[in-house]
Structure 1
């Protein structure tokens, strides 16, 4: 049932890309009619020992419809009170801060709920950017403010295969963003505290207490990350080192941390099982402590999902009834998607459930391959098999999303996982002691040294570039067929039959076919004028080779948007060259005008690219050269762009600005 619920949500996501609104009468057929048919089928077959196939088919269709409706009816176009349905120019908005996001160099970023639009009560979330000002305090969760402005759609990616931040925010329920200055807030106050705000206040209080200890900056930021879920203080280079070492999951409070805490609590509370009703008492205490940890970690979606999952496992164990771990896992999956259907599209949600599923399914078979005799090798073998099972389950999805594979992830996990349990327990104790102002100096120094050793180890692993494979081209088709191959191989391993062997070989043949198709798709040649602020970046792709034209020829390949483009288009090598003034691509001649705007009237030009706020007289240039298209990249000032656009409109000549329309692709 959980699978069909997920399929319904996915169907709702892809069918609601258009503005069409489903009439209310149609919802009768989507939701009510299947239930009526289910009742009729049940009445006709209730005397039978087993339900009929038709009954099962209708149940599946009902859950499919529930998933579709649960996702679709939460969209703004089906909510008359949503603020996006009544947007006006320079409207007054009363906002309530829901979350303080990671700031950038220029803005503090917040997730805000729109309470009122002018005098009308509304609903919906808004991405708010407030210009940084050292004289104005940052907004707190649950704080109210009134602003005047015009919310815009969240900006789409300007370059091909770049991270789609607009879609990411859409999955969070955010469909608009607004940028204001810090002094333009008309009113701000704090009325009452929600549970999320209460959690944020606790975290801020504990962080302030930890800052009074002798913990160093990097060590404190790591402790805040894997215990309190606060990652904003982590140094960028240190964060990238954890990512390169395949240990980024340590820094995000998720199923790993909750699972470790779950087993620690099981061990510590085991004496309760020797008392009457002790097993149930232990389960209740564990569930309460897990949710206290979730509150401590800020009630982020990842930790709420993990705690919900382990709460189901704990309750199932406490009932002392025969239960299947897969049923418990899928039940938690079902409940979470009923509460928040958009979580299905969160990368963390997908990775968490895939990892747990493959651990339950594959790890026992792996563990049976070797019979350890001693406690140490049992523990080590258990960590290795869990790591293999989890990594096998998430590998195709990780390659699809992140396009890299840390070759030393075995070494990282074998070292880090046992240590993480000690650090997590020690970190929780340190936080409790800090809250009570009773931290022994020696304890802080020991913990500080332990985190330092962990950071040094992670940094060393990250520096082994030979073992980190980057820019792996892995399409959605490869990802889905990879899971088909993986499932077939595991089923064949568990029981070898000729039929399963044929199916497995067929899945492998299908994977090879997808690889051949992807190779064909990525072998096409094209020219791309990328959008990059204050810079000119033009790429000419030929088969698996990429020639980049740029005014800055140092380390351009490591900056956006090149890595995403390289991974998607399976680029093997990149060459960097200075931007030419004139070049040909196929039968088309491109002229690039820099800040000087010098050109020859005798040149035959098809497409002109304006860069670095060229001083060219565009009207005279168009009359003399007569290009077919004018392109302006991200290196130009906005005032120049506006003037050039107006000139092209008068001349009835196509004008493409990469900052407005995105990168220009010519094939």
Structure 2
């Protein structure tokens, strides 16, 4: 591909490496100032000495790449609370009630019991502060909700954000940290002392416009389910989509159309380009057209929620639009990496967003692989050519996101190709029609015929998705895939594509090395999963203990008729540990693991054992005298699982602290694992 600026690609790679180093190795920051000063000083000296040379020296290149690595490292560290003097965490104590001033900045999807928001802590006990928190407000009979830019004075206590308590579980606390959220408030309406409207913000105004559009759409004759799809397609509002409908789209491999992303922005870009093309005939019309396209795209991004995938797509098309207007030669890969680098400079935490990762990988593989695949088949018929184009785009994007999709979602839709062949052309019509319906709604009442026609189109889409999702035999789920496998898979994919593009001896050797690496990783993962393990799960109101050996697992529960093996958290553990066979049994009172005697004491509180016990597991809130048990059995460790009352756990913990005996509560520290 011509005009690829290799420097931009390398700068982006080293910037990414710097962010990753800061994320996984944050303790190097103490040496960062000296390292940065030395590196930048060396870069200036090397530039001054070689400023008249046509080709820079190798040392200058190394220093430049190292500077980008440091920029990524420093930029990430500056976003952390310890680098922000006014961050609330420096002055506020956890679990201590105080007065906090909060400004609502984002509205999240509510759960069964709480409305959820992201809020900025602007004040703490009359002190100006900064920093974001998760705000969970218990639902009450009034049903009142907050909007962006609302100011709240709350009398509450900060607490830790909920983290992962079981292996292979989604870590919600880690996800919130990528949003700069490190703590939470869990309150009810009585904790809100005062509510008022805060200062104007661009994001708040965009959310108000979106809320106004949604309220207008509710007045049309479009059904609830169809309207929820319209809101997701055009406005990026997915909170009203039925969970079963969402699962159907995921099973059909069409979940990407429910999240406003590069695909939607690309379609909108093409529509705007065609509509505004007559401006090119005017003096300076090309520049005016480009400015209008960019402004409209960014307006769409704001109204659609300004998610990382939308911002990425709009920034890329903005670069591409102005490059076209300047009539300079450009390349889509250059534009992609330039937008990638700019966005990570503005917000390095976006690197850890799943949507951001999948979006960039999909676009990169489309730009890199699709032209090669398209040239493999020569189509003379225009319809066949368009169909082959959709197929190659779909295959390229799927190839790019496949390892990450398996890692995050552990499933692969076998009919993804059919789904995209049908949906992609249909999506352009739905998106254009949705914009027309929304604009019409804001201007005047939408005619019933138009509203019902659009609703019928969405019903047709839903029916097709349901048909594809119903082919359960072609949905491959529960696929284990680790981080190591992801890296090995991308190495294998890249070397194989390079080999297919150009055959030579070196690339054959690289491809064989990639295959060997992937096979070695598979054997390593299988060996690691084959190790014996005993685990006491954290599950509220239930006792669940498992013993796994290779691909087999014995699951011990208090009631084998409940089918816990197919529910959370056992289901995710089975996928992560590559468990094929599961048998269930009642929890034994006494058993051994790796020469350690383990006693389980249930609600009866009867243990009837006089020999020394290594580990005691307390379940179902037994009424017992813990001091007497400790004196009798002399255990090395006491474990309390999630089936116990909190008051009992606190009493046992105090007893163990007094006796200087290790105490482990799965509700606080997560599942207990013994290997």
2:47 to 29, 42, 54: 42
**Structure 2 CA distance for aligned equivalents of residues 659 and 433 of structure 1:** 52
Q: CA deviation at 1:277?
A: 3.6
Please state if 1:281 is matched with 2:288: yes
1:557–1:408 Cα change, 3 Å = farther
- Residue deviations 1:327-354 (CA, integer Å, cap 9, x gap): 1111111110110011111111111111
Q: CA deviation at 1:581?
A: 3.1
Matching residue of 1:222? 229
Q: Secondary structure at the match of 1:368?
A: helix
8 Å Cα contact 2:156-2:191 kept in structure 1: no
- Residue deviations 1:214-266 (CA, integer Å, cap 9, x gap): 11121111111121111111111111111122111111111111112112222
Q: CA RMSD in A?
A: 1.8
Matching residue of 2:265? 258
8 Å Cα contact 2:589-2:600 kept in structure 1: yes
**Structure 2 CA distance for aligned equivalents of residues 131 and 348 of structure 1:** 29
- Matches of residues 294-313 of structure 1 in structure 2 within 5 Å? 294-313=301-320
Please state if 1:92 is matched with 2:102: no
- Residue deviations 1:349-403 (CA, integer Å, cap 9, x gap): 1111111111111000000011222222122111100000011111111112222
**Structure 1 CA distance for aligned equivalents of residues 557 and 415 of structure 2:** 35
Q: Secondary structure at the match of 1:321?
A: coil
Matching residue of 1:482? 489
Q: CA deviation at 1:604?
A: 6.0
Q: CA deviation at 1:141?
A: 0.8
2:537 to 530, 534, 537: 530
Gaps of 5+ in 2: 1-10
Matching residue of 1:267? 274
**Structure 1 CA distance for aligned equivalents of residues 563 and 345 of structure 2:** 47
- Residue deviations 1:528-587 (CA, integer Å, cap 9, x gap): 101011111111111111222223543423322223222221112222333333333343
**Structure 1 CA distance for aligned equivalents of residues 422 and 29 of structure 2:** 53
Q: CA deviation at 1:275?
A: 4.5
8 Å Cα contact 1:95-1:144 kept in structure 2: yes
Please state if 1:53 is matched with 2:63: no
Please state if 1:386 is matched with 2:386: no
Matching residue of 2:5? none
Q: CA deviation at 1:595?
A: 2.1
- Matches of residues 187-226 of structure 1 in structure 2 within 5 Å? 187-226=194-233
1:653–1:294 Cα change, 3 Å = same
Q: Secondary structure at the match of 2:376?
A: coil
Q: CA deviation at 1:520?
A: 1.1
Please state if 1:407 is matched with 2:414: yes
Matching residue of 1:66? 71
8 Å Cα contact 1:21-1:77 kept in structure 2: no
1:503–1:427 Cα change, 3 Å = same
Matching residue of 1:635? 643
Please state if 1:171 is matched with 2:178: yes
Matching residue of 1:659? 667
Matching residue of 1:566? 574
8 Å Cα contact 1:199-1:299 kept in structure 2: no
- TM-score, scaled relative to structure 2: 0.95
**Structure 1 CA distance for aligned equivalents of residues 29 and 273 of structure 2:** 50
Q: CA deviation at 1:21?
A: 5.8
More displaced 10-residue stretch of structure 1: 607-616 or 181-190: 607-616
Gaps of 5+ in 1: none
1:122 to 119, 122, 129: 129
Please state if 1:500 is matched with 2:507: yes
**Structure 2 CA distance for aligned equivalents of residues 327 and 625 of structure 1:** 69
1:329 to 336, 354, 359: 336
**Structure 2 CA distance for aligned equivalents of residues 75 and 652 of structure 1:** 36
Matching residue of 2:621? 613
Q: CA deviation at 1:164?
A: 1.0
Q: Secondary structure at the match of 1:234?
A: coil
Q: CA deviation at 1:90?
A: 2.2
**Structure 2 CA distance for aligned equivalents of residues 623 and 27 of structure 1:** 53
Please state if 1:4 is matched with 2:3: no
Q: CA deviation at 1:95?
A: 0.7
Q: Secondary structure at the match of 1:222?
A: helix
8 Å Cα contact 1:213-1:444 kept in structure 2: yes
Please list every run of at least 4 consecutive aligned residues from structure 1 whose deviation after the TM superposition is greater than 6 angstroms.
none
**Structure 1 CA distance for aligned equivalents of residues 592 and 41 of structure 2:** 66
Please state if 1:422 is matched with 2:434: no
Q: CA deviation at 1:620?
A: 3.2
